[in-house]
Structure 1
């Protein structure tokens, strides 16, 4: 489970986002990161039970994102992220195709899965799969339990017009306009700090698995 002290540390980062403070509290960061690594390792083993693409021995450190921000091209020069991100795929956080994600931030925790702004060739393949196999697509995303848990696909970056090769009156045009194919579920801090947190997160990911399979089949 995620320790309450990890969330407390992240709150402190948000209030003291500078290198001097961070250096003075490095031991707190180390403890929080170790907690997240332990949690990640258990989630990986849970995922491997139903998703054969995830190695059960995938190193947790390959899935936990750095807390340091890349500020080279950002107006915001705050050096630290105020969250821990866990990104899991067969290649860890270096996604090759769709993957799973856990966002740990006080008051803004969520889990997600799918292909976030895939490269052009993968995007083309996913759209083609929806076009050719709309029945399979709807069998996944219209499943009542799936909808109740995750709602509808994220529309971030969605095109205003039909993508090249498709007509505006295509029956799946609203999905073909998507540039990102991800599902998200907000979760509470209690969901992540309870004794059943690993089972809860892996259970949600198992519900996402048919969606992941559709995307993987599209780009394979």
Structure 2
């Protein structure tokens, strides 16, 4: 579970996304960051029972910095308004599919997959899907998967308008071959963030996602 003070800090940051406010509230940030790190570590330790590759992984290896890279953005807000962590065997720098925790009041979620991989990796994933269409569909179209996550995420340029060159436009998984990212997420309402069962809620969603993660990562082996 998270402390209510962590949620309050993020709400305050969203209203006051500037360096003077952040400096004045740095102690609250440090406490919130430590709180989020404890949550991530608890999730890693709990889920490592299901994914042995996560054994020994530290939360610090998975957590993203709160500072935004504004060099190429019209939005010059200096800070992210969320805490995020990418959990897999290689930590946040891994190119493979993994799990993700996103804490942002009003828009928190747990899930994962592979986000905007480079063309060589993306081609491998698409090939794995095209070679094993029934298996992939049985994962992402299963009742449990759709109940927890719904369909794969499609927003923000994550899907092409047509099947990419070199792939069968008549394939039974043609729609999935158009994805540029393979990501699923389930919402974490604000009231769940401070519940004692938060770690279980997140790990349960990861268990449902694990077959897709393993399918994707198999394409790199």
**TM-score normalised over the length of structure 2:** 0.95
Give RMSD over aligned pairs.
1.1
**Is residue 54–residue 89 contact of structure 1 (8 Å, CA) maintained in 2?**
yes
User: Does the Cα contact within 8 Å between 1:90 and 1:96 map onto a contact in 2?
Assistant: no
Aligned length: 219
1:127 corresponds in structure 2 to: 126
The reply on whether 1:37 has 2:37 as its aligned counterpart is yes
Give TM-score, length-normalised by structure 1. 0.96
Q: Using the TM superposition, name which of 88-97 and 37-46 deviates more.
A: 88-97
Report the Cα offset of residue 103 of structure 1.
0.8
1:21-100 mapped onto 2 (5 Å cutoff)? 21-55=21-55, 57-100=56-99
Do the aligned partners of 2:62 and 2:91 also contact (CA within 8 Å) in 1?
Answer: yes
1:218 is aligned to 2:215:
no
Q: Which runs of 4+ in 1 moved over 4 A?
A: none
Deviation for aligned residue 1:58:
1.3
Moved more, 26-35 or 71-80: 71-80
Deviation, structure 1 residue 177 = 0.8
Aligned residue for 1:101, secondary structure, equals strand
Distance 1:133 1:4 in 2: 45
Contact preservation (8 Å) 1:89, 1:96: no
CA contact (8 A) 2:84 2:101 kept: yes
The reply to whether residue 207 of structure 1 matches residue 208 of structure 2 is yes
Q: Secondary structure at the match of 2:91?
A: coil
List runs of 5+ in structure 1 lacking aligned partners: none
- Residue 6 of structure 1 corresponds to 6
Matched residue, 2:106: 107
